[in-house]
Structure formats: C-alpha cells, structure tokens
Amino acid sequence: MSDLPDGVTRRDVEGRERLCTRGRPVYGEPTDGDWRVWDASRSKLGAMLELGMETGLTGGESVLYLGAANGTTVSHVADFAGPTYAVEFAARPVRDLLEAAEPRSNLFPLLKDARKPATYAHVVEANLDVVVQDVATRGQASVANRNARFLAEDGRLLLAVKARSEDVAERPEEVFDEVRSELEERYEILAESRLDRFHTDHLGIVARPR
C-alpha cells in the first residue's frame, strides 16, 4: 500500500477503516470529529489512493483539478493541498462547488471548459505540482495534453479515464490503449490501475510531462 499524502489518513469510522481528510463536510459523508470520510466509490482519486497507487502526492501541492463537478473530490483535495484550481463546465454543479469552496480559502472554482485551457490560463498559475483530471467527455487524452502547459517539469498528472465517455460500443481495453497512445505524446506513464472495484470501466493513470 502506497503512502498517503500528509493530511490524508485512515480512521475507524462506523466500524471500519476509512480514508479521511480534515475539513468541513460537503456531501453528507460520515465524520469522526474534524475528519470526513473520503468515499472511494464517489471519487476516482479516492479510489486510486484506496487501491494503493503511487500518486506521488505528499500534501501541500498546487493543483489544477479538471472536472470538479459539485466539489465532492476537489474539496477533499483542498483539505490537504495548497492552492487548488477547480475547473467545471456545467453551471448547475458549480453552485455546489462554490458552497464547498466557501470555507476553503485555497479552493478556487472556475466555470470553464477543460478542453479550452486558454480561457483560464490568465487565472491558473504556471508550474503546478499536480493536474487531476476526471472529465467525462470524448478526447480525455487530448484534454490532458492541452493542460500539460500548467505542469512543472517534475509535476504529475493523475488521470481517471472513463471508457464509456470515449465510446460506449468499444471494449474498454481498446479505449484505454488508444488513450495511452495519445497521452504518450506529452507524458511518460508511471503507473496505472483499473478502478473497477469502485468505478466500472475506469482506468487510473499516473504520468509526468515529457
């Protein structure tokens, strides 16, 4: 099992060991004092950590989170990270994201399209430590490649690939092969793991810029 970043721990909550961060609850998750459960079945990054993937996260990183939705995962990220930029395209979940960001001074919601990084390049700082991507759209590798511009040379991409968003008819293994091939234009893949224990037909990838 890989080491967890500072600010993330495992605690006994409701009779079993659960991944937790310290912060204000967002989605009605179980808590233990100041600690809130990080439910891997609701979070691709949480699943990557639960499965022991070597994400390279240590705590305190600067983060660009693509596909923040209503803030379920990115709120946990902001609990242990440094400045965290949360990009979400749909207006409705951004309302929840704004609520999640209210008590977190390091969480910056952006109503933007992750496929168009030029629209938020004036806001997001350069040389970030981490890009986390969970975008349910076609062209997930393309999104990652376009956003590589924000990463430091020794930064990390933590990507959750949803096969059904690329092609509902194609076998997930074939989709993942295609995503890997395109991703390797800009990244070196360091680790990968199927996330099916928590998320069907998903692949977690850890990569660094070439």
Annotated binding site for S-adenosyl-L-methionine: 72-73, 88-89, 113-114, 134-137
Cβ atoms within 10 A of the Cβ of 17, count?
10
Total residues belonging to the chain: 210
N- to C-terminal Cα separation, the chain: 27
User: Do 162 and 175 contact (CB within 8 A), yes or no?
Assistant: no
Angle at 208 between CA 203 and CA 210, to 5 degrees: 125
Binding-site positions read 72-73, 88-89, 113-114, 134-137
Spatial distance between the Cα atoms of 204 and 150, rounded to a whole number of angstroms? 20
